[in-house]
Copies of this chain bind each other. A is one copy, B any other.
Amino acid sequence: MNIEIINTGSELMLGRVLNTHQQWLCRQLTDRGYLVQRQVAIADEGRAIQNAVREAAGHADLIICTGGLGPTSDDITRDLIAELLGKPLIEDPRIAAHIESFFLKRKRPMPPSTLVQARVPEGALVLENRYGTAPGLAMKLDPNPYRADRKPTWIVMLPGPPRELRPVFLEEVVPFLNREFPLETTFACRTLRSVGLGESRVEEQIAPALAQLTKAGLQIGYCARVGEVDVRLVFEGCGAEETVNEAADIVYQKIGAHIFAENDDNLENTIVKMLTERKKTLALAESCTGGFIAHRLTNVSGASAVLLAGLVTYSNEAKQQFLGVPAETLTTHAAVSEATARAMVEGTRIRTGADYAIAVTGIAGPTGGTPEKPVGTVFIALTDGERTKVINPINTFDRETFKYITSQQALELLRRRLLSLDL
């Protein structure tokens, strides 16, 4: 089955917004055994949209088109696809009523232009949108003039705002897929996420041991990010799940200590889960990461049970007042030093009564570096009250990457302590 995603939006081509739809839709489809072959993004421009749909209809069984269904003048996808397929637009009274009640409920006046969203191409399936005003639409191109074999192509149109697209996909498109495109073969995919080894190193360690399974059709993919490498194991066909699980067992044997999560899980999920299971609590003192570690942990639902407090102490005064760092330590050793990190982490643990504390102090840059302590210098401290460990990586990156990799190192330090891997 051939699937193509078309993302419309001039803001995409001008680089104003990040295309999160592509990742989200690809992930949702992959998890259900549907592989996307190609994704195309184009501007909100008549010829470009029609060309993209025509081209995709030449090879795809399913086209998922996002954006351009809203009420403003640059929302032209619905009209253009209807025109391409030669279908008139007809106002659907159910959608019109939904739009009116949507504004009524929110006590907001309805701009008249909003009602264009109730216009539906003749014969189209309406994919209900309870989260916004523009419904999704599905149209079957049958017979399909753009394919040599005339095989039909379904065109699914989804509204652009993520908080509308996502539930409409899950509630309306998934049942539609199961009905129109039932799976023919089994498919399995598992992604093991590792930290602390480079991409080549990971491949060297696991590829020879997986050679047999690779010959049998296992696909291995490596995805290197800052400070982490994902290993993706994919198998299609009979015994897919068993093969992928066997491969994963081999990867765990080889580099298990470096694997911190699987699939959608991330290091913050793992940390919250581990702390919850152990009934342990955590407190944070952040200087250069500026609240990013607290932010990552509090993205996890249930974090409130394990995270007692996070103190973003940028100034020296705040370090003294909230963490009890002695003024002397700051003047003798400076704010970015092992001694300060140690005083921060111990002060944080004692003042919050948490089981574990993490403290971070460093120079995020781009300014503030010195010859002895260049931009990127960080001290990360971890304590459980009995033993305090301080590491001192140099993370020479832009500010955003600096925060990410530093937070990753801090959380990994805690993960290893929780697993007694750092002794």
Chain B residues with Cβ below 8 Å from A29 are 15
Tell me if A311 and B314 are in contact (CB < 8 A). Answer: no
- Listed stretches A81-89, A247-255, A288-296, A408-416; interface member: A288-296
User: Does chain B have a CB within 8 A of A266?
Assistant: no
Assembled-state Cα–Cα distance A291/B199 (Å): 32
For residues 14 through 64 of chain A, which have their beta carbon under 8 Å from a beta carbon of chain B? 14-20, 22-30, 35-44, 48, 52
Chain B residues with Cβ below 8 Å from A289 are 298
Assembled-state Cα–Cα distance A39/B26 (Å): 16
- Listed stretches A119-127, A169-177, A224-232; interface member: A224-232
Tell me if A18 and B17 are in contact (CB < 8 A). Answer: no
Central interface residue in A30, A294, A303, A307, by most chain B CB within 10 Å: A294
Tell me if A299 and B399 are in contact (CB < 8 A). Answer: yes
Tell me if B290 and A303 are in contact (CB < 8 A). Answer: yes
Tell me if B290 and A230 are in contact (CB < 8 A). Answer: no
Tell me if B12 and A26 are in contact (CB < 8 A). Answer: yes
Tell me if B322 and A16 are in contact (CB < 8 A). Answer: no
Assembled-state Cα–Cα distance A70/B191 (Å): 20
Tell me if A225 and B17 are in contact (CB < 8 A). Answer: yes
Tell me if A203 and B40 are in contact (CB < 8 A). Answer: no
User: Does chain B have a CB within 8 A of A135?
Assistant: no
A293-B290 contact given A14-B26, A223-B17, A314-B298, CB 8 Å threshold: no
A28-B15 contact given A299-B400, A401-B163, CB 8 Å threshold: yes
Assembled-state Cα–Cα distance A352/B311 (Å): 12
Look across to chain B and name the residue whose beta carbon is closest to the beta carbon of A234: B14
For residues 346 through 402 of chain A, which have their beta carbon under 8 Å from a beta carbon of chain B? 351-353, 364-367, 397-401
Assembled-state Cα–Cα distance A282/B13 (Å): 37
A13-B27 contact given A18-B20, A203-B73, CB 8 Å threshold: no
Assembled-state Cα–Cα distance A310/B25 (Å): 36
How many residues of chain A have a CB within 8 Å of chain B? 105
Contacting residue for A291 out of B111, B198, B293, B301, CB 8 A: B293
Tell me if B27 and A16 are in contact (CB < 8 A). Answer: yes
Task: Count identical subunits in the complex.
Answer: 2
User: Does chain B have a CB within 8 A of A221?
Assistant: yes
Tell me if A37 and B13 are in contact (CB < 8 A). Answer: yes
User: Does chain B have a CB within 8 A of A189?
Assistant: yes
A169-195 to B contact mask, C-beta < 8 Å, 1/0:
000000000000000000001010000
Q: How far is the CB of A371 from chain B (nearest CB, A)?
A: 18
Look across to chain B and name the residue whose beta carbon is closest to the beta carbon of A18: B23
Q: How far is the CB of A288 from chain B (nearest CB, A)?
A: 8
Tell me if A27 and B14 are in contact (CB < 8 A). Answer: yes
Tell me if A322 and B315 are in contact (CB < 8 A). Answer: no
Tell me if A14 and B294 are in contact (CB < 8 A). Answer: no
User: Does chain B have a CB within 8 A of A154?
Assistant: no
Assembled-state Cα–Cα distance A14/B23 (Å): 8
Tell me if B200 and A71 are in contact (CB < 8 A). Answer: yes
Look across to chain B and name the residue whose beta carbon is closest to the beta carbon of A28: B15
Q: How far is the CB of A168 from chain B (nearest CB, A)?
A: 14
Tell me if B284 and A294 are in contact (CB < 8 A). Answer: no
User: Does chain B have a CB within 8 A of A265?
Assistant: no
Contacting residue for A224 out of B70, B224, B298, B304, CB 8 A: B70
Tell me if A200 and B111 are in contact (CB < 8 A). Answer: yes
Tell me if B321 and A351 are in contact (CB < 8 A). Answer: yes
Q: A residues bordering B, Cβ < 8 Å?
A: 9-20, 22-30, 35-44, 48, 52, 70-74, 108, 111, 113-114, 160-161, 163, 189, 191, 198-201, 203-204, 207, 220-226, 230, 232, 234, 284, 286, 289-295, 297-299, 301, 303-304, 307-315, 317-318, 321-322, 351-353, 364-367, 397-401, 403
Closest 4 CB pairs of A and B: A290-B298, A15-B27, A291-B294, A15-B26
Can you report 22 A-B residue pairs in the complex whose CB atoms are below 8 A from each other?
A10-B221, A12-B22, A12-B23, A14-B234, A15-B24, A17-B223, A18-B19, A38-B40, A39-B41, A44-B221, A72-B203, A111-B204, A290-B307, A290-B310, A291-B294, A291-B295, A291-B298, A295-B403, A298-B403, A301-B399, A309-B318, A310-B312
